[in-house]
Structure 1
Amino acid sequence: MELLCNAPAHATVPSRYIFPPEKRAALQLDNDLTPDDITLPIIDLHHGALSDDRRSQVAAEIIAAGKEFGFFQVVNHGVEEDAVQAFRDAAAGFFALPAKEKLPYCSYDMSKRFRLATSTSYDRGETRYWRDYVKFRCYPPSDDNVRCWPSKPASFAPRLVEYCEAVHGLAQTLLGLVAEGLGLDAGFFAGDLSGGDTHMSVNYYPPCPDPSVTMGLLAHCDRHLLTLLSQADVAGLQAMHGGRWLLVRPVQGAFVVNFGHQMEIVTNGVLASVEHRAVTNSVAARMSVASHVHPTDGCLIRPAPELVDEAENPAQYREFLFSEFMEAYDAADASRDDVLESFKIRRD
């Protein structure tokens, strides 16, 4: 497997990474990007120490952000910066290992519990994305998960456990606030809806000699319930907003939060899963760490009855098992419209 992290810095972009003009990010075209004065909402969680009044206000802010953007950033979230940076350093150390030490982890087999690969599993053509990544199950730290994690660098496993414990707690806090903001029971998302293994994607984008002809990652929506992303201080994430791309500008110490397909379905379309993508830059390497909260495979997914009104707001989606959705997502190559079409209720 030909990894970008194994290669010396490129002076030019190899032809296999050059996208045709109609598929490029086109950062130089002002009409493709949302104006700079439109930014993602930044929500202060006050380290989780919320009074009843403040909790209701924060829950309302999250729902408003979800309806408008499908994305928001959280600060004062209670995850210690030391824990975030320690794991980011360990993950960067893994990508920096000699090629022969990373080789045993290289695979495009999506059933593996820890795998290192490049570009994307959803190719949609011959052109490669300017990205290496590892994907793995990170929480809970069960024996089956831990035995698949790399032994080098030695700090990887202990720092990962610390980081994931903290992020899991934050995810549960956010899900409780989402439930309250929607008028659901505070524990609505507990149990099977958020009880599957949390998966992690660590994406590495080395500096690119010509970002105008490359892409970091294809436009897609996430398949699961909730994503929490650490992007540190290098921008590259873009989210679709109003038919244009919004650059998600880094905020010191923040997590970027977005909703997956399961949230859209469970809320009967109130909170949409929004397309997003990654672009490259020529100055600095960028590493993003995304934690994906999954339902259990056997979880029955359906719109919450409290959010369905057969007269005015009928159910938009049929019932299904989460495992069925996972199969449909892979078959549709992560295409938002194609995968959702399989689960929509037709009312012709």
Structure 2
Amino acid sequence: MSLLVSSWSNGVQSVPKDYVMPPERRPGDYIAVCKEIPVIDLQNDRSDIIQQILKACKEFGLFQVINHGVSEKMMAEMRVLYDEFFNMPIEDKLGLFAKTYGKGCTLHTSGVNYAKEKVHFWKDTLKHDCHPLEEHIPSWPEKPARYREEVGRYATEVRKMGFKILNMIGEGLGLPEGYFDRVSQEQYMAIHLYPQCPDPSLAMGIDGHADPNIITFLQQDQYGLQIQKDGKWMGVDPIPNAFVVNLGYTLEIISNEKLKSVEHRVVTNSSASRTSIVTFFSPSPTLPVENEVPIIIQPAKELVTSSNPPVFTSFQYKDFVARYLAFVCKPRPRNGTPLDPYRI
């Protein structure tokens, strides 16, 4: 367990050499917080909300939502719960530890594969699947004792909010009602702890990347998230009791590039640790039927016309995820995106 950053970083005076990013991967100079990122009130008129969401998805690939239906009390309880989890004695977390990012419930450090990294990220992550709950809850942490009950309720409420937003995106694009109910089968959570860092100019929480999935919902308690727009990095201001919503590559493909996924990264902090509670909605590798039909990702046929031909070819989601993981594991600098091989 000594690999976990949180197990040894408290009080260190310098960044260990295997956490020092090469100059081209460091966060750079001071990044201003962007004041233009849309904040959308989900209790407003539905037609207005849809237009605001579509505009945000086209311009930023990201927005924040308030009055979303997940109670302030529940969000506060999650912050307390994960503070307790990451502060538990090492022996209480041993059974969850894994050296690589994988299926099931795992606790790991840095990126996708610690052993193959030349330099590590200043981050520990607890990850587990959430849907269907009854299938996955038995693999979740047993401590703190209330973990399964509280996180189960939270996952249910975030799922309601998530499909409310996805359905509005679908309506705005002109897709059939319930389109995302079939495509977005999987839901999982990743809870990232970014401990205090003695020199944030040298270390990174996570490199710039866009998510491979459909859509992502982030609850954050401290500044650290940055997005890239028009070739420049800009900060995302944490708003109390809001969710940050960002689009993944899969939704960019389904929309036939009408909507954009967003490249984002996380910087470290010398004065406070940061915990982010992230929920991902994604296609499952196969349809939930006996013959295990592979999920095919492609531009929605409703959005393809003779004057608006498909931008991407069709492909199996599991193949795309494998290519994505291989791509993001490459060291910077690099050109292109994991979408390039699928462009027509």
Deviates more, 1:290-299 or 1:277-286: 290-299
Give the whole-Å Cα distance in 2 for the aligned partners of 1:313 and 1:219. 30
Q: What are structure 2's unaligned runs of at least 5 residues?
A: 287-294
Q: 1:279 to 1:271 in 2, by over 3 A?
A: same
Aligned residue number for residue 231 of structure 1 = 220
1:200 Cα offset (Å): 0.8
Aligned residue number for residue 262 of structure 1 = 250
> Structure 1 residue 6 and structure 2 residue 7: aligned?
yes
Aligned residue number for residue 305 of structure 1 = 301
Which of the residues 205, 209, 227 maps onto 2:194?
205
Q: 1:226 to 1:4 in 2, by over 3 A?
A: same
- 8 Å contact from structure 1 (residues 6, 98) kept in 2: no
- Structure 2 counterpart SS, 1:85: helix
Q: How does 1:25-36 map to 2 (within 5 A)?
A: 25-28=27-30, 33=31, 36=33
Q: How does 1:1-348 map to 2 (within 5 A)?
A: 1=1, 2-7=3-8, 8-28=10-30, 33=31, 36=33, 38-46=35-43, 54-121=45-112, 125-143=117-135, 145-191=136-182, 193-196=183-186, 198-232=187-221, 234-298=222-286, 299-310=295-306, 312-333=307-328, 337-345=336-344
Give the whole-Å Cα distance in 2 for the aligned partners of 1:341 and 1:235. 32
- 8 Å contact from structure 1 (residues 114, 149) kept in 2: yes
Q: What are structure 1's unaligned runs of at least 5 residues?
A: none
Give the whole-Å Cα distance in 1 for the aligned partners of 2:301 and 2:320. 20
Give the whole-Å Cα distance in 2 for the aligned partners of 1:118 and 1:262. 26
- 8 Å contact from structure 2 (residues 34, 236) kept in 1: no
Equivalent residue letter for 1:78: G
Q: 1:293 to 1:26 in 2, by over 3 A?
A: same
1:114 Cα offset (Å): 0.7
Displaced runs of 4 or more, over 4 A: 122-125
Equivalent residue letter for 1:199: Y
1:45 Cα offset (Å): 0.3
- 8 Å contact from structure 2 (residues 125, 193) kept in 1: yes
- 8 Å contact from structure 1 (residues 106, 117) kept in 2: yes
- 8 Å contact from structure 1 (residues 207, 284) kept in 2: yes
Give the whole-Å Cα distance in 2 for the aligned partners of 1:333 and 1:122. 11
- Percent sequence identity over matched residues? 36
- 8 Å contact from structure 2 (residues 101, 111) kept in 1: no
Instruction: Give the TM-score taking structure 1 as reference length.
Output: 0.90
Q: 1:93 to 1:229 in 2, by over 3 A?
A: same
Give the whole-Å Cα distance in 1 for the aligned partners of 2:101 and 2:211. 15
- Structure 2 counterpart SS, 1:204: strand
Give the whole-Å Cα distance in 1 for the aligned partners of 2:159 and 2:62. 18
1:189 Cα offset (Å): 1.3
Question: In the TM superposition, what whole-angstrom CA distance separates every residue of 1:40-75 from its partner, at most 9, and x where no partner exists?
Answer: 1000001xxx6xxx2111101000000000000000
Give the whole-Å Cα distance in 1 for the aligned partners of 2:319 and 2:341. 10
Give the whole-Å Cα distance in 1 for the aligned partners of 2:78 and 2:269. 23
Give the whole-Å Cα distance in 2 for the aligned partners of 1:80 and 1:179. 25
The RMSD of aligned alpha carbons is: 1.8
Equivalent residue letter for 1:195: Q
Q: 1:36 to 1:152 in 2, by over 3 A?
A: closer
1:83 Cα offset (Å): 1.2
1:27 Cα offset (Å): 3.2
1:342 Cα offset (Å): 2.5
Give the whole-Å Cα distance in 1 for the aligned partners of 2:177 and 2:99. 39
1:339 Cα offset (Å): 1.8
- Structure 1 counterpart SS, 2:6: helix
Equivalent residue letter for 2:106: R
Q: How many residues align?
A: 329
1:12 Cα offset (Å): 1.6
- Structure 2 counterpart SS, 1:73: strand
Q: 1:334 to 1:45 in 2, by over 3 A?
A: farther
Question: In the TM superposition, what whole-angstrom CA distance separates every residue of 1:157-193 from its partner, at most 9, and x where no partner exists?
Answer: 11100100000000010001101111223322112x1
Instruction: Give the TM-score taking structure 2 as reference length.
Output: 0.91
